[in-house]
Structure formats: C-alpha cells, structure tokens
Structure 1
Amino acid sequence: MTDTAIAWDTYARQRPERRQTNARGETTWFNWTQYEDHGPGVELLGAAAGSRVLDLGCGKGGNAAHLAAIGMRAVGVDVSPRQLASAHERWRQAPRLELHHTEAVSFLREDREGFDAVYSVYGAVWFTDPALLLPAVRERLLPGGRLVFSQRPPVQGCYGCQASYIPRGADEDPLVVKRWDYEPREWEQLLARHGFTDVRAEVLPAPPGRRKVGTLIVSARA
C-alpha cells in the first residue's frame, strides 16, 4: 500500500485550485459535493460563530477558510504537505484558521479541547478505518455536536474496505490507498453502534446534465 502522504501529494498536483469566486460572487464558500455550486452548505454542521469545528482531510483549505471567515474557529488536518502548502498560501490571511500536518486519528486522540462539529468532504472519513476513526470523533465531539461527511456513493456490491487508485504518469503504476464504502443504511447502523444519534444518510442526486453519480451525505449527533 502506498504511503498516504505521497499518495495525497500526488493527488494534489492533479487537482485545480479552487476558483477565486463562486457563481454568487463569493470569495469563500462551503461545498459538500464534487460539483460546483451544488448542494447544501454550512447549515448541515449546526454550528454558530465562535464554534470550534474540525475538518478531517482539509486538503487545500477552502471549506475551513469559509468557516473561519464567518466567525468559527476552524481547524484543519491533512497528511499531505503539498495540500497544506497550498492552503497556507491562499488562506494565510484568514482569521481563526488553524492548519495541522498530521493524521486524523492521531490528532483527535491528542486534542483536549473538543469540537462543536467535525466534518469531512471527500476526506479522512472516506479513507480511514471507521473502527478507529468513529470512536475518536465521538470522544472529541462536545455534547450535541455533529459529525457530517460526504463522499461518493458505493458501487453496488462493493462494500467495506476498497482499493482507491490515484493515477500518475503514463508509464507509472497508479498509487493505491484504502477507502471505506457503505450503503446509506449501513452507515446509519455503523454510526449508531458507535454511540451516535439522529443519524441520517442519503444520496444527493447529481445536478441536471450528463452526470449521474450523486453524493453520499451522512450526518450524526454526539
């Protein structure tokens, strides 16, 4: 299996930078899906200004920067130095934004302050064993706090730990990382077994057009 930092550094080189403004002309915004200007926003977190919120797998930092811009204490963690370098470069002036180069479970186990919300957008929740991650999240969520995450829906019949391939050059084998895929109902049962309540999992359809793959969005309360 590929070293995760190397894999996500490689992925970062392939990803375009976030646009300077979205369709509404905003310089920061929150996006749960793989499609531009589509889907719900920050309201899913149920967090207000002043809340401490954690982004697991923050990547280039766009979502966390938006939370900081609207008054939250936004903390982002990622294992990719390249991703974090891009985040620091673009959002260095963002108030209340804190970024860490570390692995999700380790950070959660070491934190002592707790969070009003924890979220992941195609991030660490998808690529970390839930048997390790969910107890760590549950331990650090403050009473009533929410865990919300999004990722691609599973391919029918392909559930549990799967191989996820990150392409490289034409003459190079792809890099491989693990990801965890479950149907919505199974995510609901899994979160409930780890002590979460008010669990909801559903697939948001793709926007109209040729695209057909929606976005799985899961939320739960501590």
Structure 2
Amino acid sequence: MEVVEAWERYAQGRTPRREVNSAGARTWLNWTQYPDHGPDESILGDLQGRTVLELGCGTGCNLAHLSTLGATCTGVDISPTQHEKAVARWGHLPGLTFHTAEVSDYLSRTDSTFDVVLSIFGPVWFTDPERLLPLIRKRLTPGGVLAFSHKPPSAGSEPVGTLREARAVTRWDYTPEEWSALLTSSGYSNSKAEIIPPPKGQEVGTLLVRACTGILFYPPLRK
C-alpha cells in the first residue's frame, strides 16, 4: 500500500525524541513543531482515570506522558516501524497499548469509547475530515474532547487534497474557521481554534483545535 510505504519511509528517517527535555523531564507532551514550546497537557484538564486515544501516535512519546498522569491510553499508527519503536521504548508502562492500523479502519472496528482523542500533526491533518470527524465523534464519550494540531495554512498553500509526500499522502490545510464549520456539521460543539505563536526567531505558528461532545470550559493555553 503506497500510503503505508510513504509513512514507513518517514518513520525510518526520523530522529528519536530526546531522553529528557530542557526541563529535565523524561516524558512530556508537545503540541507544536518546536521543541520545548507551547502549551502542555493541562489544556485538556485532569487526565487521571480518563481514557485517551491518540491517532498517529508515532513512537508513543506524547501518549506515554499522558499515561504517567493516570490516563488509560491507546495509540494507533499506520506505520509498523513506529509501532515497534513505541513498544520498545514505552511498552513497559501500565495502561498503555499500541496498535498498527489506518485510523479510519480502527475507529470503524473498535467498540471502545474514549474521553479524549488526540492528533498532533497526525491523521486529522492527513485524512478526509468529512469521513474521519464523524468516526471520532462516535467513539467519544459524552463530554469527550477532540484536540488536534498542525501547521496553519499559509499564503500560496496548495489546494486541499493535493498529493504530497511520495505522492501518496494527502493533507487538508483548513483555516480555524473552516475547521469550526466542519466540526459543527459533524456533531461537535464548543469548538475552539487558536494559533499558538511561534518561538522567537520563527515565523510559522501552530494551529490548535479543540471541540467536544457537550458543554466544556477549556483551560487557557499556557506556554
């Protein structure tokens, strides 16, 4: 499958995440494309005892951090290489499991429900949202949260759906307003889309989108 092969090439070329971050922590969550920048998991509220699904979990580093906070975590990634790396590094943690699957297929097959679904530069950016967002919505518990991030569209961006990496991976570059409309039409409420400013010396920020299946007060972004 061409898409799997493209993500396999990407995975094999990735440098492993550092063992510790600038604060000396061994696990952490990073929403942006820049290390040690942007908000942390606190924007999701208390994670103790909650069920979390990460779509496009890669090597599992973000999800591993949430498991150390008391969440029961499931990660899904299309790349077998990423699965192997995730299990090798984080398979010892309790309440953390990884699966190799295309996310739409996984969501269509599973009977599990989740309090939080994450996608950090992951499949929500690379999968037709008119198909994916309703699938996620069905797997969220009442009051559950969907949160995802990716680069915001820039002037001169190619049209939505243009084939990119290895001419196999499609990217949906939507604005905050377009994401809000898509989320509302897919049954979500209380959507909030924000641009996280880049660190000093960088020009491109990060689009962070949150929505839920009920009424929810979102904790503010903290850097």
Q: If the length of structure 2 is used for normalisation, what is the TM-score?
A: 0.91
The aligned amino acid for 2:186 is H
The worse-fitting range, judged by mean Cα deviation, of 28-37 and 44-53 is 44-53
Residue equivalent to 1:74: 73
Given the alignment of the two structures, is residue 195 of structure 1 paired with residue 184 of structure 2, yes or no?
A: no
Per the TM alignment, residue 155 of structure 1 is displaced from its structure 2 partner at its CA by: 2.4
Residue equivalent to 2:198: 206
Q: CA RMSD in A?
A: 1.3
Residue equivalent to 1:184: 176
Residue equivalent to 1:64: 63
The aligned amino acid for 2:57 is C
Which of 211, 215, 220 is 1:220 aligned to? 211
**Cα distance in 1 between the residues matched to 2:118 and 2:198:** 21
**Pairs aligned (count):** 212
Could you list the runs of 5+ residues in structure 1 that have no partner in the other structure? 166-173
Runs of 4 or more consecutive aligned structure 1 residues displaced over 6 Å after TM superposition:
none
**Cα distance in 1 between the residues matched to 2:156 and 2:46:** 35
The aligned amino acid for 1:130 is P
Secondary structure in structure 1 of the residue aligned to 2:83: helix
Per the TM alignment, residue 107 of structure 1 is displaced from its structure 2 partner at its CA by: 1.2
Q: If the length of structure 1 is used for normalisation, what is the TM-score?
A: 0.91
**Cα distance in 2 between the residues matched to 1:60 and 1:181:** 24
The aligned amino acid for 1:217 is L
Residue equivalent to 1:164: 164
CA offsets, 1:4-56, max 9 Å, x none? 21111100122110100011111100000010010111123335211110000
Percent of matched pairs sharing the same residue: 46
Could you list the runs of 5+ residues in structure 2 that have no partner in the other structure? 214-223
Secondary structure in structure 1 of the residue aligned to 2:125: coil
Contact 1:46/1:146, CA 8 A, preserved across alignment: no
**Cα distance in 2 between the residues matched to 1:46 and 1:131:** 27
